[in-house]
Amino acid sequence: MSEDFFSHYIPYSCESTEVPKWFARWSAIVGIGAILGRQYHFQFGHFNINPNIYCFLIGSPGTKKGTAIKILKKVMGAAGYETFASERTSKEKFLADMAGEGDFGIKSVEDLLDENLFGSDDAGKDDEMFIAIDEINDFIGVGNIEFISMLGNLWDHNGKYEHKIKTGKSICVSNPTISILGGNTPQGLSIAFPPEVIGQGFFSRLQLIYGEPSGKQVTFPEPPDPKATKELVEYFRRIKAECYGTAEVTGTAKKLLDKIYRAPRFTGDPRFEAYFNRRLSHLIKLCLVTSAARCSKTITETDVIHANTVLNLAEQLMPKALGQFGKAKNSDVAHKVIQILEASDGIVEIKGIWKAVSNDLEKMADLNQILQNLLAADKIQIVPGGRGFLPKRKLVDQIDSSMIDTSYLTEEELRISK
């Protein structure tokens, strides 16, 4: 594993605990993004891409999601980071806390007079907040579509964001910069989020990081080495002090980013269509974090490879993170049909498809409906004359070896992909 912040943080977080290394890595990724806020960015046409990341650690109860999050918060707090969100809040209180304006953004008469006379101390500042909560459902609530939608809108919002409250007054935040690191289970997702949010903006901006128990049993965890804690605190401070401004990108890094962006990519799971439309932004955010983990303001080809390696593994595991959440009726059978067509060297007749899926469906009419839906979604194509079906696009089973480097990951992390 290459020498960077992660090579120090992962052992620190996991050596005497049961925290999975995959969760420790992603906790550190989100933490670095939160520390940097908007001070270090990628110039992307008319806009900047910032390293803030939305991430849920997903696993069964007892996978030590909360431990991973709490360890990160403790180290960041020691490094001087303060803008953590409250454990429970409302949409309005969250915005008011981020703006630093007291109860629901309502300022005192004295404050308003001072601003009129002397100007606001907040002029030109960026408002940021790190939602680092092990039980994310406690924070978001159940079925709170308005709050979820607002968080989605704030992921890459530039400028002022104004929200009116019931009194008619407004809460205004400037360049809101939010990072999220929350813990949940596949079942918890289905409780907190209605299925329709799968196709909305929030989930396309969210990294769903599925993890499994590390396999370790630590009855009496040892306290961390104070020297190791001090080194990580100083590392966080170096990242904050040295990584600012617009990231430089080497020529080879640009070529590789272009190659990755243009490569065909299809998971076969329709729930992630919206996510993959934003994949380049996710990758660039990770490139910023990966370069900053070396205390560098230059994104190299190696940074792109490492970022893409981490992102690729996360994407492989995303269907496990969601479980059955958001799946449409017979979606598994539809995926199976696509796999049958992809695996075939030629045209597949409907009789052959029915033979493969007959145990999964009640009647042939159900298969006809699935095929019609796949045709309408442009996932498959019918051969002229109705002689059978062909896939519309190929599923990418193997990633080009020039785009990833699995040696960057630990053996424990690689095991969960098998």
Whether residues 211 and 299 share a domain: the answer is yes
Cα three-residue angle 70-289-161, rounded to 5 degrees? 80
Q: Determine the residue type at 413.
A: E
Q: Per residue, what are the HEC states of 215-227?
A: CCCCCCCCCCCHH
Indicate whether 53 and 73 sit together in one domain. yes
In a domain, 177, yes or no: yes
Confidence of residue 189 (pLDDT cuts 50, 70, 90): confident
Query: Which residues constitute the domain of residue 371?
Result: 331-391
**Cα 200 from Cα 274, distance rounded (Å):** 8
Cα(95)–Cα(131) distance, rounded to whole angstroms? 12
In-domain check, residue 96? yes
pLDDT, tens digit (0-9, with 9 covering 90-100), for 88-108:
888 889 999 998 865 544 444
Q: Is the pLDDT of residue 233 over 70?
A: yes
**CATH code, 146:** 3.40.50.300
Q: Whole-model pTM?
A: 0.82
**Domain co-membership, 291 together with 383:** no
Give SS3 for 134: coil
Give the model's pLDDT for residue 131. Answer: 97
pLDDT band at 2 (very low <50, low <70, confident <90, very high): low
Query: Nearest 5°: phi and psi at 22?
Result: -65, -40
Q: Is the pLDDT of residue 212 over 80?
A: yes
- Tell me, yes or no, whether 363 and 259 share the same domain: no
- pLDDT for the residue numbered 107: 45
32 compared with 141, residue with greater pLDDT = 32
Residue 411 in domain: no
At which residue do the structure tokens 């990081």 appear? 209
pLDDT at 158 > cutoff 80: yes
Residues 132 and 168 in one domain: yes
Residue appearing with tokens 């990770």 = 286
Q: Tell me 74's DSSP state.
A: H
Compute the Cα dihedral for 230, 233, 235, 237 and give only its sign: negative
Same domain, 247 and 263: yes
Q: Are 175 and 159 in contact (CB under 8 A)?
A: yes
Residues 301, 366 within the same domain:
no
**Whole-number CA gyration radius for the chain:** 23
Q: Which residues contact residue 81 at a Cβ distance below 8 angstroms, ignoring those fewer than 6 apart?
A: 34, 35, 130, 236
Same domain, 307 and 346: no
Q: What percent of the chain has pLDDT over 90?
A: 64
Q: What is the CATH number of the domain that holds 366?
A: 1.10.10.10
Output DSSP code: residue 192: H
The CA distance from 75 to 268, in Å, is 39
The better pLDDT of the pair 353, 400 is held by 353
**Alpha-carbon dihedral 144, 147, 150, 151, rounded to 10 degrees:** -100
pLDDT top residue among 228 and 113: 228
Within 8 A by CB and 6+ apart from 116, the residues are none
The single residue listed with the structure tokens 């390293």 is 51
Q: Domain count of the chain?
A: 2
> Do residue 237 and residue 130 come from a single domain?
yes
Short-list 273, 279, 292, 210, CA closest to 9:
292
Cβ partners under 8 Å of residue 358, min gap 6: none
The SS3 of residue 395 is: coil
In a domain, 46, yes or no: yes
| Residues 80 and 202 reside in one and the same domain | yes
CA atoms within 13 A on the CB side of 366: 15
CB 322 within 8 A of CB 192: no
**Residue 10 structure tokens:** 């992962």
Residues 6+ apart with CB under 8 A from 390: 341, 347, 348, 380, 381, 382, 383
List, for residues 290-330, the tens digit of each pLDDT value. Answer: 999 999 999 999 999 999 999 999 999 998 888 767 676 77
Q: Say if 44 falls within a structural domain.
A: yes
Say whether both 205 and 335 belong to one domain.
no
**79 phi and psi angles, rounded to 5 deg:** -80, -5
For residue 343, tell me if it sits in a domain. Answer: yes
Residue 415 falls inside a structural domain:
no
The sign of the torsion formed by the CA atoms of 16, 6, 278, 330 equals negative
Compute the distance between CA of residue 294 and CA of residue 296 in angstroms, rounded to an integer.
5
pLDDT band at residue 109, thresholds of 50, 70 and 90? very low
Query: Could you tell me if residue 57 is inside a domain?
Result: yes
Query: Which of residues 306, 325, 344 is at a domain's end?
Result: 325
Q: Are residues 224 and 198 in the same domain?
A: yes
